[in-house]
């Protein structure tokens, strides 16, 4: 597993970003795309159909995405992860402190989206705020219940010789230093 200051051995062309809800996967994926020139596809837009229902074309869309020469996306959804892992050069793991960094982001983002009634994917908007108390899968509750889901999974993956290189970033400062340092430097590699 690589740290934020470890150089990348080659220019990554296919990059997946892992992390729990609110870790900043999409935000860093966009930054990575701008830095590398690879196109970013938001995997939530492929997954969510109207009414928050999984789109039947989801896995076909992911297969088309990973067949591309270069891409950046989020490492989400159990059926998609093996496809992403098999083709990625790099897996960026956002392993940020949950209670001081990730949880406040989830709450702020959810409140902002709901209060502004921001359209997300395929016409969906955040549900009413009171559903945090009634819906066990509300994003705020989901982020708490799944906050440890990568603690064992990604370290095991990093030990697999066939897996992509895994970069573990543990703070926003490490994220910024990695993007501006090793990632930017790798874009000058062949």
Over the chain, what is the mean pLDDT?
Answer: 95
Residue 43 has pLDDT above 80, yes or no: yes
How many domains does the chain fold into?
A: 1
Domain that holds residue 48: 14-184
The answer to the question of residue 189 being in a domain is no
Going by C-beta distance under 8 Å and a sequence separation of 6 or more, which residues neighbour residue 54?
A: 47, 48
Phi, psi at 132, each rounded to 5°: -60, -25
The answer to the question of residue 190 being in a domain is no
**CATH at 54:** 3.40.50.300
* Whole-structure pTM value: 0.94
Q: How many helices (H) and strands (E) does the chain have?
A: 10, 4
Listed residue (33, 2, 1) closest to 15, CA to CA: 33
**Angle (nearest 5°) at CA 43 between 39 and 45:** 100
Residue 189 has pLDDT above 80, yes or no: no
Q: Are 115 and 187 in contact (CB under 8 A)?
A: no
Instruction: List, for residues 118-155, the tens digit of each pLDDT value.
Output: 999 999 999 999 999 999 989 899 999 999 999 999 99
The answer to the question of residue 119 being in a domain is yes
**Band of pLDDT at residue 46, cut at 50, 70 and 90:** very high
* Beta-bridge partners for 90: 15, 165
């Amino acid at each position: 597993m690589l740290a934020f200051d470890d150089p990348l051995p080659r220019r990554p062309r296919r990059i997946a970003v892992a992390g729990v809800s609110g870790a900043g996967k999409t935000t860093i994926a966009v930054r990575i795309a701008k830095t590398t020139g690879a196109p970013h596809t938001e995997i939530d837009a492929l997954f969510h159909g109207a009414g928050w229902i999984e789109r039947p074309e989801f896995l076909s869309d992911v297969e088309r995405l990973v067949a591309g020469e270069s891409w950046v996306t989020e490492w989400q959804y159990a059926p998609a992860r093996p496809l992403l892992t098999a083709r990625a050069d790099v897996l960026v793991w956002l392993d940020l402190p949950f209670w001081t960094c990730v949880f406040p982001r989830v709450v702020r983002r959810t409140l902002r989206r709901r209060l502004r009634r921001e359209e997300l994917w395929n016409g969906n908007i955040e549900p009413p705020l009171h559903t945090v108390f009634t819906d066990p899968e509300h994003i705020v509750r989901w982020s708490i219940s799944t906050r440890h889901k990568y603690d064992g999974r990604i370290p095991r993956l990093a030990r697999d010789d066939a897996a992509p290189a895994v970069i573990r970033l543990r703070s926003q400062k490490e994220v910024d230093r990695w993007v501006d340092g090793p990632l930017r430097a790798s874009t000058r590699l062949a």
